[in-house]
Structure 1
Amino acid sequence: MGIIPVPFHISSQGIILLLFLFIITLLAILVLAWRRGDKRARALFESWKKEEYSRLMEWISMEADKRAAIQADAICREWQRNEEQRIRKDAWKR
């Protein structure tokens, strides 16, 4: 039981859903205010778009870095495998 007694229980999924609905409602209000020409809402919406764009670009670069690291690892393993085979062939010839 929590500190504040409530007559109902909200699950974690319910809290996430309420938070999601709150964010959607806030965005809808911002978009409506922006369309009506409120300069503060427009500035807030534009800054939010820029922030989301920068987060998206950061995520894309992280994914590209991960893929590049995986490819570099595969190339190194292939080179190591070829080097081991060459050493075995040289040892077998002797």
Structure 2
Amino acid sequence: MNDDASAAAAQRKRLYWHSRRGMWELDLLLIPFLEQRYDGLEARDQAAFRALIGEEDQDLFAWLMRREWPEEPERRRIVQMIVEHAENTDNDHYRSL
């Protein structure tokens, strides 16, 4: 494996572990989005996702449960993408939240 591939694999593992939050509701939204959509995102949206998972759980919960929206446009955009992904997939758990 070359250095680029191993660096990408290491980053992917970090993203996965940072997406596991300890709150079941957040795990149900972040992990499927990472696994199913992250690789297809534009670089700016990937960067927004990486920044988003650095936020506090209570902020993520409020945003992803649509109780409030982030003020920053890039953050709001990635949150909306995650919410829409959950709504458009066969995710019965999300609908019950």
Q: TM exceeds 0.5?
A: no
More relative contact order, 1 or 2 (CA 8 Å, 6+ apart): 2
Q: TM-score, normalised by structure 1?
A: 0.28
If you compute each CA radius of gyration, which structure gives the higher value, 1 or 2? Answer: 1
Structure with more of its chain in helix, by fraction: 1
TM-score, normalising length: structure 2: 0.28
